[in-house]
Structure 1
Amino acid sequence: MFDEVSSGTKAAQISIIVPTYNESKNILQVLKSIEENLPKNATAQTIVVDDNSPDGTGKIVEEYLQSVKKLANHTIDIIHRKTKEGLSSAILKGIQYATGNTIVVMDSDLSHPPNLLPKMLDALKHTKYDIVIASRYVKGGSIDGWTLKRKIMSKTATFIAKHGLGVSAKDPMSGFFAFRRQVIQGLKFDAIGYKMLLEILVKKKNAKILEIPYTFTNRKFGSSKLDFRTVTDYLRAVWNLYRHGKAAAREEKRPSVGFLSKAGRFYSIGAIGLGINYLISSLFSGVVTHLWYIHATIIGIVVSMTSNFVLNKMWTFEDRDFTPKHTLIQYGKFIGFSSLGALAQIGMVYLLVDQYRIDYPIALITAVFCAALSNFILNKKWTFKEKVWS
């Protein structure tokens, strides 16, 4: 059942879904730009899904619909939702209302250029691809206007998606994508968080994907929706998608699937640990206190190792036994194997560079890979008592 909808829609070939929340300064330019870049001979509908924006975004769209001349091949509809329910659920609402066989999802803050629409739609029309992703991370793609913190968060989320959930796309966190409607037939969506594409990619592993490069431009007006709740919603979504993947792996009964899945999660947590290490070390070396940088770094290492242990215990190896003795023994083993891996990495780098005259970058990559693999296998077998190949 939909909330209040203003519509003059007839069946369309293309449905473009534009979720909005407090985008009063951007929405009209977005709608006009979409109109300018639509294929000439195609019937299209643009669906604005507004979460009761306090800045009057929904009302602005309503007034625009009353003033603009209606076109034969393009209609604009607006779905008014009563509360702020989240980006993924807004997209799902738009999909349920859409009449097109081709569906496009894009942001309403001008970060997604509508002039890329013809290329994306043409790729779906004339190729066998099921999903076309506007990608920031393929060759030719880029990001303009992000802070270092935002870039690190994006890269970390992408790393988790690719290695923790086994997604092959280079930009699975993109919010700008197009797909054939039949791709999602029969899928049950959780609609948690803000990345509907990631859910489709995980639940539709056999979909054929094309990534087209584009430059993501940071918004000029309004404020970013990225906050603490966005991060926690993403982690919830990842957890649900991991459970979905685990159930699928059990059905396939292939040990390699379980091994690679857990290895991916283990290394994803390692990437999170690097971020925690950097954050904690930075805080103690100048923001919160002014400790000597070596002391601050040691604190960062201890905190990141501890967080890595807890996350691996709960997520990677799904061990829910937190009795003190059991947990302390596991913690000691985890720290021991992690430290052993670090020493092995240093020793291997020295051996390859000093004894075999191998270039340092190659030696470092080799050592990191070997240390990380041995760290995972040792913790899998001895800390969490699992079979290695499972």
Structure 2
Amino acid sequence: MTIQTMTDAPVAAQMLPAELAIVVPTFNEAQNVALLADLVDKALPGVAWELVFVDDNSPDDTSGKVRALAQRDPRVRILHRFGRRGLSSACVEGILATSAPYVAIMDADLQHDESVLKIMFERIRADDVDLMVGSRYVEGGGMGDWSESRQRMSQFATKLALKLTKTPISDPMSGFMMMRRDAFMRSLPNLSTVGFKILLDIAASAPTPLRVAEVPYTFRTRQFGESKLDSLVLWEYVQLLMDKAVGHIVPVRFLSFAMVGGTGVVVHFAVLTLLFVALGMSFAVAQTAATLVAITSNFLLNNMFTYRDQRLQGWGLLRGWITFNLVCAFGAAANVGVADWLFVNNGYWALSALAGILVSVVWNYVMSAFFTWKKKG
């Protein structure tokens, strides 16, 4: 008796238009893609599905593994991104790259339970819900081997998220979901694509409350590769919350840039005090050193936080530091020029100084975005 696998299924059956597309963002998941494809194939018998892997130019050649898989099965596709990163934006691009009327999002690390996909699909195709969420918090779900502290942090983030969504969801931090395309398209114009919590973004961006149902699943342990959830994901989450709260007024990236600038003031005065007051250096030398250290601090923090999705590395980091210093030098000149002109004309020194600072911050933000962290392509 011969057991048919996904790689020797009749080509005609594989070529049918997909009714369900499963979007899988990847970064260094080469060991998992074939395993995930086999698991999805077993979980969705009789369903016309396709897997859309969206890879952010993984150094472990994840995209190459997916291409090899796609050569054997046309239900597997690859969207290879270069020069940009971000889980939420990868999910959005993957959904827009398929014509399937129903789309799901899941991770490539095998921590999401693929057997739940069939339950989600049967329910959402019944046309009484817009969004199906794989939940760890409804009865029957679980967090797997998460530590107590990680569970508490997740629950706290969930409480904050519920203040933004128009529809109650027990697990708005979930990365495992399925939705109708028309529901996604309604949310699309307002999406932030900031950070990694696309479900929260979709729910908070919907012009009217979504019809939501949840299905329990237990979060599994990663088998291969490393977790992408580093210590900065909390900052990305805060950015998303800020964007949903005030992003329609002030770009959240500008707010982050300004906040980093505030830390630069503290760094500047700390270095100046150390060199001038404590060590007795001349004021000119101490001021110059403090300015250079503060600009470098601002550059590194912006590279880490504000432009996390466009982080500069290697020689690009050195080039970026040089251009950032040049931008800030012009910004400082604009600061002094504007403040001096306003003071001469109105005499209010405090308002003149604030106006000069505002001009330099806006200048530094716009010019550094263009010259230092300019998007490729």
Is the 2:19–2:48 contact (alpha carbons within 8 Å) kept by the matching residues of 1? Answer: yes
1:64 aligns with 2:69: yes
SS at match of 1:157: helix
1:218 shift after superposition: 2.5
SS at match of 2:227: coil
Residue of structure 1 aligned with 2:211, choices 200, 208, 211: 208
Deviating runs (4+, > 6 A) in structure 1? 244-247
Structure 1, gaps ≥5 residues long: 1-7, 248-322, 324-390
1:190 aligns with 2:192: yes
CA–CA separation in structure 2 for the residues paired with 1:220 and 1:148: 21
1:113 aligns with 2:119: no
CA–CA separation in structure 2 for the residues paired with 1:83 and 1:200: 25
TM-score by length of 2: 0.58
1:81 shift after superposition: 0.9
Change in 2 beyond 3 A, CA 1:99/1:134: same
CA–CA separation in structure 1 for the residues paired with 2:149 and 2:15: 42
SS at match of 1:185: helix
**Which one is further off, 187-196 or 173-182?**
187-196
1:62 shift after superposition: 1.5
CA–CA separation in structure 2 for the residues paired with 1:22 and 1:78: 14
1:35 matched to which residue of 2? 41
Residue of structure 2 aligned with 1:48, choices 48, 53, 61: 53
1:182 shift after superposition: 0.5
Aligned counterparts, 1:1-390, within 5 A: 11-40=17-46, 42-66=47-71, 68=72, 70=73, 75-163=75-163, 165=165, 167-186=167-186, 187-188=188-189, 189-204=191-206, 205-243=208-246
1:232 shift after superposition: 1.0
SS at match of 1:49: strand
CA–CA separation in structure 2 for the residues paired with 1:237 and 1:114: 28
Counterpart AA for 2:50: Q
CA–CA separation in structure 1 for the residues paired with 2:209 and 2:155: 24
SS at match of 1:61: helix
CA–CA separation in structure 2 for the residues paired with 1:123 and 1:235: 33
Change in 2 beyond 3 A, CA 1:88/1:178: same
CA–CA separation in structure 2 for the residues paired with 1:165 and 1:77: 32
**Which one is further off, 22-31 or 116-125?**
22-31
CA–CA separation in structure 2 for the residues paired with 1:38 and 1:121: 9
Counterpart AA for 1:157: A
Is the 1:165–1:242 contact (alpha carbons within 8 Å) kept by the matching residues of 2? Answer: no
Counterpart AA for 2:39: S
CA–CA separation in structure 1 for the residues paired with 2:59 and 2:16: 30
CA–CA separation in structure 1 for the residues paired with 2:244 and 2:152: 22
1:240 shift after superposition: 1.1
Counterpart AA for 2:244: L
1:378 matched to which residue of 2? none
CA–CA separation in structure 2 for the residues paired with 1:9 and 1:83: 32
Is the 1:133–1:177 contact (alpha carbons within 8 Å) kept by the matching residues of 2? Answer: yes
Is the 2:54–2:81 contact (alpha carbons within 8 Å) kept by the matching residues of 1? Answer: yes
Counterpart AA for 1:57: T
Is the 2:134–2:217 contact (alpha carbons within 8 Å) kept by the matching residues of 1? Answer: yes
Change in 2 beyond 3 A, CA 1:180/1:165: closer
1:164 shift after superposition: 5.3
1:140 shift after superposition: 1.0
Counterpart AA for 2:235: T
CA–CA separation in structure 2 for the residues paired with 1:191 and 1:10: 31
Is the 1:26–1:221 contact (alpha carbons within 8 Å) kept by the matching residues of 2? Answer: yes
TM-score by length of 1: 0.57
Change in 2 beyond 3 A, CA 1:245/1:39: farther
Is the 1:143–1:215 contact (alpha carbons within 8 Å) kept by the matching residues of 2? Answer: yes
Is the 1:165–1:241 contact (alpha carbons within 8 Å) kept by the matching residues of 2? Answer: no
CA–CA separation in structure 1 for the residues paired with 2:244 and 2:108: 26
Is the 2:133–2:215 contact (alpha carbons within 8 Å) kept by the matching residues of 1? Answer: yes
Is the 2:66–2:76 contact (alpha carbons within 8 Å) kept by the matching residues of 1? Answer: no
CA–CA separation in structure 2 for the residues paired with 1:190 and 1:39: 35
User: Deviations for 1:206-248, whole angstroms, at most 9, x for unmatched residues?
Assistant: 210000011011212211111233211111101111237999x
Is the 1:9–1:77 contact (alpha carbons within 8 Å) kept by the matching residues of 2? Answer: no
Counterpart AA for 1:159: K
Change in 2 beyond 3 A, CA 1:133/1:229: same
Is the 2:133–2:213 contact (alpha carbons within 8 Å) kept by the matching residues of 1? Answer: yes
CA–CA separation in structure 2 for the residues paired with 1:142 and 1:219: 15
1:29 shift after superposition: 0.6
Change in 2 beyond 3 A, CA 1:134/1:105: same
